[in-house]
Amino acid sequence: MNLLEQISQEINTINEIPDFGAGDTITVFYKIREGNKERIQFFKGVVLQRRGSGATETFTIRKMSSGIGVERIFPVNSPLIDKIEVNKKGKVRRARIFYLRNLTGKSARIKEKR
């Protein structure tokens, strides 16, 4: 095992994240610095994709805010992420659901796994 793999394994064990994938609705609690103060803000939305592996793994979340779609990319192993909650598991047939960007209203709903 080379040095890069050892370092990435050490980084991966820092954060305990739940098992989630595309189509799941999750809430990410992350730290925001404003001046010298720090607070926790949450971002709740549908996971569009998870990509990468090891220390460079990221996931994209999309939510609707006042009728406008907002997407945000989070690194999985970021020290700024406080915790991740899985609100519901979605039933989708692919790993990247970018088609959700073009859908609105009832057609944008995702069935829940039971």
Residue 35 belongs to domain with CATH number: 2.30.30.790
112 domain residue, yes or no: no
Q: Between these two residues, 13 and 66, which has the higher pLDDT value?
A: 66
> What pTM, to 2 d.p., does this model score?
0.82
22 domain residue, yes or no: yes
- Look at the chain and report how many structural domains it folds into: 1
- What is the domain extent for residue 25? 3-91
Q: Between vectors from CA 101 to CA 89 and to CA 26, what angle results, nearest 5°? A: 25
Q: CA–CA separation, 21 vs 26, rounded Å?
A: 10
114 domain residue, yes or no: no
Q: Write the burial class of residue 73 (CB in 10 Å: 0-12 exposed, 13-18 middle, 19+ buried).
A: exposed
**pLDDT bucket at 14, cuts 50 / 70 / 90:** low
In this structure, what DSSP letter does residue 21 have?
-
Nearest to 20 by CA among 110, 89, 103: 89
37 domain residue, yes or no: yes
CA neighbours closer than 13 Å in the CB half-sphere of residue 19: 0
102 domain residue, yes or no: no
Q: Between these two residues, 112 and 4, which has the higher pLDDT value?
A: 112
Find out whether 4 and 69 touch, Cβ atoms under 8 Å: no
